[in-house]
Homo-oligomer: A and B are copies of this chain.
């Protein structure tokens, strides 16, 4: 985050969402929001606070519980001169409009031979750790990664929320923007006006020499905590915040592994089909000669997310689990 110039104040990740959207709405009158309870109610996660008041009902639209209509309408609008920002309340509900995310939005440009563009953002509250149970807790960036034609963004800090929101809304390509529920309350330096973080640029959030930790969204603080833990034991871990899965900044990852020769990937999604598998497979191919140890992935267990928080901790990646893997690799 070297490019973030703090304005002196701090802001929560939650506030940063609304702030990021508001800045773009001020800049560009074609940016319009739609979603369930986002207007006068200001969003069930309070991530659209102030928008309805500032921009009114012609720019901020409450919808029925109709995920297909929300995202389908966003697509039709995006094809005809609007830049819609559609909210899907919980990322689990992307499954209810998956046809649009998997088959329509990402393919229409290609299958029309480039006749149309679809500049839209689908924002969604993602991830677990809050006791919301199996159907309101999933981290599903990996679902989106499996679909060519979607840009996939998942910020870990308030400033990145603002900077990546700007880049996402300005992007002429469709973006799925994952806001992590577990990070909403977290605070960080505010971003200056005009702050834009380009899509596809990972950040080395902690430099280190011994092991590379690759993380995304909620797992960035987990990886950083693990790095602090092992630092006390003399292991110097580098932490890479991917920020985006598409475009995927493998340059930064391969460069880091080239220096550390060891890789641990920290993912919130289940191990099977997780995004880290794609990163690992690229490193096991293109970075093979750098590797001095097995590539490890600390992901969620391959079960639905349980309700009880004590059980959730068994399933999800934790700093302890990451630290244990780092130690194993360092000792390899």
Contact = CB atoms under 8 A, between A and B. Distances in A.
Interface of A: 92-93, 95-96, 98-99, 101-103, 106-107, 110-111, 133-135, 142-143, 145-149, 246, 248, 269-278, 280-281, 283-286, 288-289, 291, 293-297, 301-304, 306-307
21 contacts: A98-B102, A102-B143, A103-B135, A111-B135, A143-B146, A146-B269, A146-B274, A147-B273, A148-B304, A246-B272, A276-B281, A277-B281, A280-B280, A280-B284, A281-B281, A281-B295, A283-B284, A284-B291, A285-B297, A288-B294, A288-B295
This chain: how many copies in the complex?
2
A274 B99 CA distance: 18
B142 A304 contact: no
B303 A148 contact: yes
B106 A146 contact: no
B304 A107 contact: yes
A107 B270 CA distance: 13
Q: Which 9 pairs between the two chains have the least Cβ-Cβ distance?
A: A146-B273, A284-B284, A280-B281, A277-B277, A98-B98, A288-B294, A95-B99, A107-B304, A145-B273
Contacts of A133: 111
B149 A304 contact: yes
A230 to B, nearest CB: 19
Nearest to A287: B294
Contacts of A273: 142, 145-147, 273, 275, 278
Contacts of A102: 92, 95, 98, 143
Contacts of A145: 272-273
Contact of A135 (B107, B142, B149, B272): B107
Given A111-B134, A284-B280, A92 B103 contact: yes
B269 A110 contact: no
A285 B294 contact: yes
A299 B59 CA distance: 42
Contacts of A303: 110, 148-149
A272 B281 contact: no
Given A278-B273, A294-B284, A106 B142 contact: no
Contacts of A288: 291, 293-295
Contacts of A110: 134, 303-304, 306
B148 A270 contact: yes
A134 B147 CA distance: 12
A274 B278 contact: yes
Nearest to A135: B103
B111 A304 contact: yes
Contacts of A99: 93, 95-96, 98
